[in-house]
Amino acid sequence: MEPNPNVLGRRPTTPDPRDFTFRMLKESSPLELAFARLMAAKGANPAVKAWASAVMDVLAAPAPPPEPEPDPTSNVIWELPDPVLDQGDTPHCGGFGGCQWGNLSPVNDHYRDLDGHALYYESVAIGGYPGTEDGVESRWVAQALQARGRLATYGFASTVEEIIEWLRTEGPVMMGTDWTSEMFEPDETGLVTVDGPVMGGHFWVICGDLPTDREVVCLNSWGESYGSEGFFRLSYLDLSVLLAGIAYPGDAILSPEMALPVLAA
């Protein structure tokens, strides 16, 4: 595809000392995380406050027994039952990336393109820029998904190893990173190389791990014409470059997805 900076819409995320880390998410109980987030929400965004009261009962439910960890040499791919979304010629990658995360297993939200645009506008409103077309911070997307009841809490990974561990045991990972000129054109196998000048910031999702190849499988929001039917691969090394940042540090958002509510008959 021809490079089109108009489709890049990720703002650098402002650091916040209240952010959870990978280790906090892995080692704390759901109730401990809920209490911590509830305390942090005092004086915070109204959407975060609304989340706190909405999910306490869900988090108090008994946790299911842990599943056996997969073979560390096996491929892990979180499936996408629905079509790949397409943000079109808009900077709405944050909303579309959040919806793609929702559509990937283990829970399929059945979001469509219209939902991607809606989630984008919900995200910029949470960030204090309602109706703007200047992109989103990754945290705003997570908070918009909180407001929709799709996730309870979230944290940030700081290393590729943390991303891989989460990916192999919990679910997909939302990414907000720099996007370089060469990343617009995956090779014939769907492999993307982080090279060339930074064209802007983009929001996308990691949905698989190929440990033997030392690559991750990723999902974009530019329809099925990009890469391998909308997916692309990225080496661990290039992932580390994006996480460290070329122009700005990357965001790797971790969150277990909440089950869909059961509708009354």
Over residues 90-132, the pLDDT tens digits come to: 999 999 999 999 999 999 999 999 999 999 999 999 999 999 9
Tell me the per-residue pLDDT of 165-202, one tens digit each, with 9 for 90 and over: 999 999 999 999 999 999 999 999 999 999 999 999 99
Spell out the residues 6+ positions from residue 205 whose beta carbon is closer than 8 angstroms to its own. Answer: 97, 100, 101, 104, 172, 173, 174, 175, 218, 219
Is pLDDT above 60 for 44?
Answer: no
Select the more confidently predicted residue: 24 or 80.
80
pLDDT per position as a tens digit, 7-39: 899 998 988 877 888 887 777 666 566 666 565
In the chain the beta strands, taken as DSSP E runs, fall at 20-21, 76-77, 155-156, 173-180, 198-210, 215-219, 231-235, 251-254
Distance of CA 224 to the CA centre of its chain: 19
pLDDT at 233 over 70: yes
More confident residue, 20 or 164: 164
Structural domains in the chain plus CATH codes:
19-62+73-254 (3.90.70.10)
Arithmetic mean of pLDDT, 38-51: 57
| Stated pTM of the model | 0.84
Which tops the pLDDT comparison, 205 or 18?
205
Report the distance separating Cα 82 and Cα 160, nearest Å: 28
CA–CA distance, 229 with 217 (Å, rounded to integer): 12
Do the beta carbons of residue 180 and residue 198 sit within 8 Å?
yes
Q: What is the mean pLDDT of residues 154-169?
A: 96
Which two structure tokens, joined as six digits, stand for 251? 């965001």
